Amino acid sequence: MLDLVAIAHDMRDAFKARNMRKMRKTNDRIQEETALNFSKQNFMLAVYSYVLGKMLSKPRFFAKANAESIKLIEGTLDAIVSAAVKKDSAALAKNLDSLGEAIQTLDRSDSRFVKGMVDKGKLKTAAILYAQGISLSAASEMTGVEKQEIMDYAGKTMMFDRLSDKIPLDSRIKKARKMLLGE
């Protein structure tokens, strides 16, 4: 089970410290948990931790012109920590939405790619779920990313060759039973 308070703290602390390595490790933990126990909340945490890690690797996002956007992201991360500590799921959902909006605003201000960072984060997370053993249909349905996009991305990045932590067969069977039979 994902320790939401620890994850929220780790995301906030890594971002404020501009620690890309810690953010990527946090993202790895969230991705692993998302593959085992999918929820929309876990999925969005995985997407946003991936995107924040990408931002940390690009100094242009921390230019003086983006100071207000960065402060907004940091404040939203503080609010996510607060909601996690209080176990306030409504506030957490609202603040996750706000974090997505803040990231997209910053991304639009320095748009260099056809696909925005959040959309790329969703695609990558969906492809990782698929590479870890979730069926293509389930990965697509759970994440809202088209099957063809997932297959294209996983194939182009050779994700299956790089990912060694696949979901064991017994875990996949339990997950399938839970999804199909509600067990």
Tell me the C-alpha distance between 161 and 36, whole Å: 20
Other C-beta atoms closer than 10 Å to the C-beta of 85 total 12
Other C-beta atoms closer than 10 Å to the C-beta of 3 total 12
Tell me the C-alpha distance between 89 and 14, whole Å: 23
Q: What is the pTM of this model?
A: 0.79
* Helix axes of 136-143 and 117-131: crossing angle, nearest 10 degrees: 150
Tell me the C-alpha distance between 69 and 122, whole Å: 21
Contacts by 138-142 with C-beta closer than 8 Å and gap 24+?
138/179, 142/38, 142/43
Residue 134: closest CA among 12, 19, 15, 42: 42
Q: By residue range, what is the domain housing residue 37?
A: 4-181
In this predicted model, what pLDDT tens digit does every residue of 97-146 receive, in sequence order?
Answer: 999 999 988 888 766 655 688 888 999 999 988 888 788 898 899 899 99
In this predicted model, what pLDDT tens digit does every residue of 145-160 receive, in sequence order?
Answer: 999 999 888 888 766 5
Other C-beta atoms closer than 10 Å to the C-beta of 163 total 17
Q: How many domains does the chain have?
A: 1
CB 86, CB 4: distance < 8 Å: no
